[in-house]
Structure 1
Amino acid sequence: MNIVIFSNELEVVGGAEDYIIRKVITLIKNNYKVIVIAPAINDFYKKILIYNDIPFIINEKLGVSPKYLWKKDRRNLLNQIEKEISFCKWDCIESHQVYPMLWAELISVRLKIPNYIYLLSEAGNYPVYYKKLLNTKLNNKMLIGCNSMTIPIVAKKMGATIDDNNVFLNISVFPDEIKNQNYTIDIDKENEFVITTIARLDKYYVRYLIEEIAQVSRTESKPRLVLIIVGSGFYETEFKKLAQKHESENLRVIFTGTLKPLPKELFQITNLYIGMGTTVVLSAAMKCPTLTVDPFSNKSPGFFGEHTSNFAFTDDTSKLKNFSHYIMDVLKNENKLQSYSEIAFKCFQSQFENEAVLKKYKQIISENKNIFCEKNVYSISLVEQLQSVLYKLVGFSGYMKVKKYLIIKKRMLLNRDNWY
């Protein structure tokens, strides 16, 4: 089978980006043909694609809605893509929200092949803006969630009923990516309890994690707590200032920066992992007790495998508790950690192991569903209509400059006490 993947920008190193690279490598190794089409791809991911002989197309205009372009420019771009992928016959498309799924739909109409939309996130208002497109995909089981809660959350936003259409495909990870690298952090295993998190440092939960671990450190005198934060991002400076404010004799915070690939030694020294997204699954694969983070509330529904089997979402908000609740519990009952690590690993093996996920993926895309929604691609919100006018006035580079400027200004103008 031959698959076209329409992706968002592969510019930062993160869970969704890693998923796409893992997916195409897995498909290639299983004798699929794959091409990746994206608005941007950084050098790190380019090298991986080139090394694995995976073709890709980069066009920055794919980073905006097709409606933004003049009709002639839109037609020329579609012609160009169709020509560049004409070296083989394609069977289907996998596309991601938001703008890639729109361009993919237009190409699917031209090639007369199905476009399966794989939702890598539940965030944003796109389900409201594109509910006609998404609802058609949902009703025909061509809308796929990345965990069991994705489709229910998105369907609720667009006022749709799910019926039996909750199709989801867990994101698999490759534990063999994590290797021994002689990586060292000075830890006193006898007297220190290590909590690790891996995240882009624009994730709000990191602030709460620092504050709540500091709260626990003031309550519990032993063992000394060590928080290791792996990653970099927009709020890195603020997080470091916050950590410095809370550090004490009973708490130290270590910022490692981005570690790529992740060293096995990091997980070997970790007593408790706390995080969200694919890092949760990686931690479970490394047999770490893994506490999940709900991205909407920045609280935790509990331990992976024990209380939840997806990245962190729960349909029962009453189950959400502060991180400090779970940290205090395992500090007082450390024997629970071994049980949580075993349960997490079993959950990884049964639901996230690569071969099991690939088998389900084949089942989902095996049906040739030629159901097209070209008209729904051009139905955009009032906000996007205004953005479309701006785009036509100043062009792509001018539009992106204005957009980035406004995003930064919005963040800077937030109340200083709530900069997160």
Structure 2
Amino acid sequence: MKLPEDPGDFDPTAAGEYWINKRTIDHTENTIRSNRKDLEPFLGWCIEHEIERVGDLSEWTIEQYENYAHAREDWGGVTVKNKLQTLKQFLEFLGEKGAFDGYLHPAVTVPDLDRSQEVNTEKWDKTDALPQIRFMRDSPKWNGTFEHVVTEVAWFTGRRVQALSGLDLSDYTREPDADDPADGPFLDFKHRADEGTRLKNKLDSEDPVEISEDVADVLDHYIARDRNEKRDENGRKPLFTTRQGRASIAKIRGAIYIATQPCIRIACPHGENAEKCKYRKRDHASKCPSSRSPHRIRTGSIQWQLDQGISPDDVSDRVDASVETIRRHYDVPDDREKMENRRRKYTGVLEDSINDVEDSTDLSQSVEDHCEGTQSTPDSDESSDTNEDDSTVSPTK
């Protein structure tokens, strides 16, 4: 990109792209994707209002954009906050480069939301998740498939898809050595930026995470059944693979969209014929009204772990999120049962929660009705801003 002699002469769109490119050096792909998505409306607004130089931005133009953001009916409070926070960071960067006479970012007023507005209510709820996981475990057709294993590991650990994609086969330990302080199976999440797999919070994200024996059984079945014996471009052996090598974020995302569709277990809640529905194909699975993204898996998992009595501090370590975030967005007990559940603890409790689910699904009928097209899909990476991707995987935690 050719830089203007005066930073103020930067076209807003070009300036936005320059800022995004600079951030790729020390920020994760997920953060960059979010930054780009949050900044795009402002750049489009500048084009619509014929603002051709960032040097022409002023406190008044910023206030006009804020009014526009708050007036959008399709943006909730959290969305407005995220987009204005990103704009503030962008303008601070431009100010440091001398694009303005002074700084403009203090003019951005980021809304201060109360806790009720910030609580994340969009999630794969345990009332849907636990019967679905039980079904896949019991189904000869689904158990040990890539779709099953990545979904179960994502649910049981609460980790981001980026972290799942970066796991190596050696990061999975079924039976710890005698001198290992661990007393059961676990997954060891590691930040390997120089080898192409990063964790969101870098070294702070590194942690071994306990999984149950039942989740380890799913992983073992996947490894024996569907895992491709492939190495990635750095010579490492990924845990989750495709025929080409390491399962990408997009591939894992697509598999999770498929595995969370309720019609693999019950009749379609939208009245569609499962055998003919185009949403059963991976390329269209994200458009199914009942499928869930990896982020919704993560939010549902966090709430589920809290409801089972695991403390916010322990959940923080398991899912790689700060205690403040856990408490602010998820730890919202709303009845006496949840208050009592908080006194209970840990991995066995999580597993019992799955095993104790009563599900009246007729397995044989569901398998018979299951659409064959959802199991075999090309191993092509697909990009999706819902952030992450790949084929047959194994469960953890």
* Higher fraction of strand: 1
TM-score computed with the length of structure 2 as normaliser: 0.29
Considering Cα pairs closer than 8 Å and 6+ residues apart, tell me whether 1 or 2 has the greater RCO: 2
